Chain A
Amino acid sequence: MRLFTFHLAPVRHALALSVCLAIALLTSACGTSSAAEPDPVLRVGAIPDQDPEVLQRLNDKLTRHLAAELDVKVEYVPVTDYTAAVTAFRVGDLDLVWFGGLTGVQAQLQVPDAEPIAQRDIDAVFRSVFIANKASGVEPFDDTAGLRALAGHTFTFGSETSTSGRLMPQFFLAEAGLALTDFRGEAGFSGSHDSTVTLVESASYDAGVLNEQVWEDRLADGSVDLEKVQEVWRTPTYHDYHWVARPDVDERFGDGFTDRIRDTLLALDPANREDSEILELFGATRFIPTEASNYQDIEKIGREVGLVR
């Protein structure tokens, strides 16, 4: 019985070769990684709720600007998932992150002394929009109590940790005395604001809720069929997205570095063409200052809803 004595010889050679290569690579990798941080890199991540693919794929505009203004190496780290972004921020693999309201709070709680440094002009007065399929029989209303009309209907949020697509809407639903069990079936999580619109438009869900900015945008480009879906209510305003920096960036990049990041972001000028391109990636006209106290409500509501522990 002759088994694998000869014809698999090429396999053995290839294996030996790859082992050698792997060892060579490992030793070279060890050489570079064990050194201290002589030339620190600012690792930036951002997850906008609107057209995330545009920013993720055109991120070099942002990194180049930050690198030029701050005079440090800047690396953009693509992440699509907020939970993953919070975790990466906690373990120190992301230094500066564009978080949503809730995830920003989660990040600040997990990294003590992490500082919110800037928000967009629209984030100070952010709202969510409740929409309903016209065939569902839910008609527009004008106060929180009107949300009770959604009882007995199917309903979808956006993604789990979205402030505007989940947290604040759930808070207002609770204010109206509506529990998640009052909907027909389980409340859905469409995963994104755009999916929410499409799923309500197709009547897969009777009603849903999404971020005002995305809704306005979809109205403006005419990609919503207003014959099928209508806005039923807009929530009061709350604070939402903001940049958060790790507390150790000052230590790593020099005293006052957090302030320099803030200044760089605030200085983005919509009148300047290059700056406005960056602002556009975030759907912002300007960045404005912010502080931790702006998000106390979100933390409180997050605790009530069970998303902040």
Chain B
Amino acid sequence: MSRRATTLLVVVVLAAALASVAGDGDLLNTGGVPALREFFAAALHPRVDRAFLQVVGDAALTTLAYAVLGTVLSIALGLVGGVLVSQTWWRASGALPRTWVSRWLATRALMAVPRGVHEVVWGLVLLSVLGLDPLVAVLAIGLPFGAVCSKVFSEILDETPRAPFEALRASGAGRLAALLYGLAPLALPDLLSYSAYRFECAIRSAAILGIVGAGGLGFQLALSFQSLRYDEIWTLLAALVVLCGATDGWSSAVRRRCTGSRARPERDRVLGWLIVAAVALVPVSVVLLRLDPTVLVQDRARDLTVTLAQQAWPPEADWGVLVSLSLDTLMMSVIAAALSFAGAVLLAVLAARPADDGRTVARRVLGWCTRQALLFFRAVPSPVWALLVLFVWFPGPLAGALALALYNVGILGRLMAEAVEDLDRRPQRALLAAGVSPARAFLYAGLPTVWHRFVAYGMYRWEVIVRETVVVGVVGAGGLGRLLAEQTASFHYAGASATLLALIALTFLVDLTSAAVRRSGSARLSSRAVRSRSERAPGYRRSPRTL
């Protein structure tokens, strides 16, 4: 796609989406301002008595443990899946091109299945197979994240220089051996970097998985939320902010040391210890959750799986209705993605702290405040945002989009700020030396070089937003999420499986679209990318990856 065609397409889709979700009449509701004020006023007097802090502390540990084990599982699945979904692996199989390409496409499509289902939905499905077991939450995070990891890991493997791999193959090494010794070492910094990012996502997921009996901060938040105990909600949110902040800090450090422009992972002692610290959490988590994987192989799990499969298959739906609801969901996700993209670009520029510029004190303070705001945006789960939005916004798809946008601004803004920090500053310095104002220097010499990364992040996030439309039911947003909630509430498994199929199809569609847009963005930069590739240390990653 040419650049102009892409721009036109984006504008048309946005306009159509806005037209479809804009309801009749008023949007803003001033009547809810007192309720909103009451909520924020409670931030000044959170509930901090000893008994409650004990509850919150235990819950935070549980959430952390789920996130740790969910991440470990997803990385393990990702390593196996990543190899199986990579072109490198299939190409080296020795089969004819037509055969290996079709096999590769089939495995790739298969990976879209777990990805299209939100962690909360996974939780409910697993609950009906495994019962109330800590494994439910671990698997609910690990399975969909494992599929995401597979996809990203495969892209990493395919982008890694293949010469050592080919050399080993030529000298008779097997596919797996060649991969382990020729490809894996070169890809390791990128694999590590992405795994670190997955961990911070897992913390946020673990925080909303409470409803399926998993416990943790999500469970406590759901409880306090049901009776609107704002003072308790604030204490729990504070715990979430601390937990997210710490994880994000750790993940930033790891990623910067693995794949940043100044990274030397092979010489980095601190990186080693950062990883050891995380790995040490694994056995602690297993003990804390009293995890017992044997439930997976018990007869009950097998029988319940068979029963569930029989109830859920064949899928049953009014396909016409399903298509129209899918469109609603798609439109809502487009608006949410566009809003969060725009907001994130603005905030990221404020939040970034480039290494070497002489920023004024006021600018530093503003930057710090923006970073804390972004942390708050992403630490507050989207169902909470949905209720807050509803205080001052009339119900409808736009309210749903707004709630999702607020949550995702926090995630996108941070990623984009990192991209800005990681930027080659030389062109900007040249302009500054010529007397151009800092803002202008950034606009003309900074922004153009990070823009393709911004777009890539935004596109990846869009796919996630499609899934997340499932968890903002309170706003009367309709779409597939509403239908799915109704079907799970009435245990209509055949209907739910049809709705999930629609969501999976939607995810795959968005995946294809975003891949096409990202390609059109990076094509323009390819000449530069090729040049810079030769200048970088091995393992430096050109294209950003986050989901």
Q: Which residues of A contact B266 (CB under 8 A)?
A: 2-5, 7
Complex CA–CA separation, A309 to B224 (angstroms): 32
Q: Does B492 contact A (CB under 8 A)?
A: yes
CB contacts under 8 Å to B, within A26-76, are 26, 29-30, 33-34, 50-53, 56-57
Complex CA–CA separation, A194 to B233 (angstroms): 14
Q: Name B485's contact: one of A18, A88, A189 (CB within 8 Å).
A: A189
- Whether the pair B395, A205 counts as a contact (CB closer than 8 A) is yes
**Contacts A4-B185, A52-B226, A192-B226 known; A11 to B275 CB distance under 8 Å?**
yes
Complex CA–CA separation, A79 to B31 (angstroms): 34
**Contacts A21-B283, A154-B395, A205-B395 known; A188 to B474 CB distance under 8 Å?**
yes
Chain A nearest CB: distance from B85 CB in Å?
24
- Whether the pair B474, A190 counts as a contact (CB closer than 8 A) is yes
Q: Does B464 contact A (CB under 8 A)?
A: no
- Whether the pair B128, A189 counts as a contact (CB closer than 8 A) is no
Q: Which residues of A contact B391 (CB under 8 A)?
A: 198-199, 202, 204
Complex CA–CA separation, A84 to B120 (angstroms): 11
- Whether the pair A93, B131 counts as a contact (CB closer than 8 A) is yes
Q: Does B124 contact A (CB under 8 A)?
A: yes
Q: Which residues of A contact B127 (CB under 8 A)?
A: 84, 87-88
- Whether the pair A186, B482 counts as a contact (CB closer than 8 A) is yes
- Whether the pair A7, B268 counts as a contact (CB closer than 8 A) is yes
Complex CA–CA separation, A21 to B476 (angstroms): 48
**Contacts A10-B276, A18-B283 known; A84 to B32 CB distance under 8 Å?**
no
Q: Which residues of A contact B273 (CB under 8 A)?
A: 10
Complex CA–CA separation, A8 to B210 (angstroms): 35
- Whether the pair B213, A191 counts as a contact (CB closer than 8 A) is no
Most buried by B among A21, A52, A110, A204: A204
Q: Which residues of A contact B212 (CB under 8 A)?
A: 79, 81, 84
- Whether the pair A307, B395 counts as a contact (CB closer than 8 A) is no
Write out, one digit per residue, whether chain A residues 269-309 have a CB within 8 A of any chain B CB (1) or not (0). Answer: 00000000000000000000000000000000000001111
Q: Does A177 contact B (CB under 8 A)?
A: no
Q: Which residues of A contact B339 (CB under 8 A)?
A: none
Q: Which residues of A contact B185 (CB under 8 A)?
A: 3-4
- Whether the pair B490, A307 counts as a contact (CB closer than 8 A) is yes
- Whether the pair A156, B476 counts as a contact (CB closer than 8 A) is yes
Chain A nearest CB: distance from B213 CB in Å?
5
Chain A nearest CB: distance from B209 CB in Å?
11
CB contacts under 8 Å to A, within B248-304, are 265-269, 271-273, 275-276, 279-280, 282-283, 286-287, 291-295, 300, 304
**Contacts A10-B272, A34-B294, A80-B226 known; A25 to B132 CB distance under 8 Å?**
no
Q: Name B131's contact: one of A30, A50, A91, A184 (CB within 8 Å).
A: A91
Q: Does B538 contact A (CB under 8 A)?
A: yes
Q: Name A204's contact: one of B32, B211, B219 (CB within 8 Å).
A: B32
Chain B nearest CB: distance from A166 CB in Å?
9
Complex CA–CA separation, A57 to B59 (angstroms): 12
Complex CA–CA separation, A120 to B186 (angstroms): 66
- Whether the pair A83, B280 counts as a contact (CB closer than 8 A) is no
Q: Does B489 contact A (CB under 8 A)?
A: yes
Chain B nearest CB: distance from A62 CB in Å?
16
Q: Which residues of B contact A309 (CB under 8 A)?
A: 490-492
- Whether the pair A30, B294 counts as a contact (CB closer than 8 A) is yes
- Whether the pair A160, B213 counts as a contact (CB closer than 8 A) is no
Interface residues on B, range: 35 or more
Select from chain B the residue with minimum beta-carbon distance to A58.
B51
Chain B nearest CB: distance from A7 CB in Å?
5
**Contacts A10-B273, A81-B211, A309-B491 known; A202 to B186 CB distance under 8 Å?**
no
Q: Does B15 contact A (CB under 8 A)?
A: no
Write out, one digit per residue, whether chain B residues 505-522 have a CB within 8 A of any chain A CB (1) or not (0). Answer: 000000000000000000
Total number of residue pairs linking A and B with CB closer than 8 Å = 213
Q: Report whether over half of chain B's contact residues are helix, strand or loop; otherwise say mixed.
A: helix
- Whether the pair B478, A53 counts as a contact (CB closer than 8 A) is no
Q: Does A96 contact B (CB under 8 A)?
A: no
- Whether the pair B491, A86 counts as a contact (CB closer than 8 A) is yes
Q: Does A179 contact B (CB under 8 A)?
A: no
Q: Which residues of B contact A308 (CB under 8 A)?
A: 490
Complex CA–CA separation, A277 to B332 (angstroms): 47
Q: Which residues of A contact B287 (CB under 8 A)?
A: 25
- Whether the pair A195, B387 counts as a contact (CB closer than 8 A) is yes
Q: Does B369 contact A (CB under 8 A)?
A: no
Complex CA–CA separation, A133 to B486 (angstroms): 27
Chain B nearest CB: distance from A135 CB in Å?
7
**Contacts A188-B476, A204-B394 known; A7 to B272 CB distance under 8 Å?**
yes
**Contacts A2-B266, A185-B23 known; A198 to B228 CB distance under 8 Å?**
yes
Chain A nearest CB: distance from B458 CB in Å?
28
CB contacts under 8 Å to A, within B412-458, are none
Q: Which residues of B contact A198 (CB under 8 A)?
A: 35, 228, 391
Q: Which residues of B contact A135 (CB under 8 A)?
A: 31
Complex CA–CA separation, A1 to B232 (angstroms): 54
- Whether the pair A53, B491 counts as a contact (CB closer than 8 A) is no
Complex CA–CA separation, A158 to B300 (angstroms): 34
Q: Which residues of A contact B395 (CB under 8 A)?
A: 154, 156, 185-186, 188, 204-205
Select from chain B the residue with minimum beta-carbon distance to A200.
B31
Most buried by A among B268, B272, B280, B295: B272
- Whether the pair B35, A202 counts as a contact (CB closer than 8 A) is yes
**Contacts A52-B227, A307-B490 known; A203 to B474 CB distance under 8 Å?**
no
Q: Which residues of A contact B387 (CB under 8 A)?
A: 191, 195
Measured CB to CB, the residues of A under 8 A from B are 1-5, 7-11, 13-15, 17-18, 21-22, 25-26, 29-30, 33-34, 50-53, 56-57, 77-84, 86-88, 90-94, 106, 110, 133, 135, 154, 156, 160-161, 184-192, 194-195, 198-199, 201-205, 228, 306-309
Given contacts A83-B124, A83-B488, 9 further A-B contacts (CB under 8 A): A4-B188, A7-B271, A10-B272, A22-B283, A56-B223, A78-B219, A84-B213, A191-B387, A191-B473
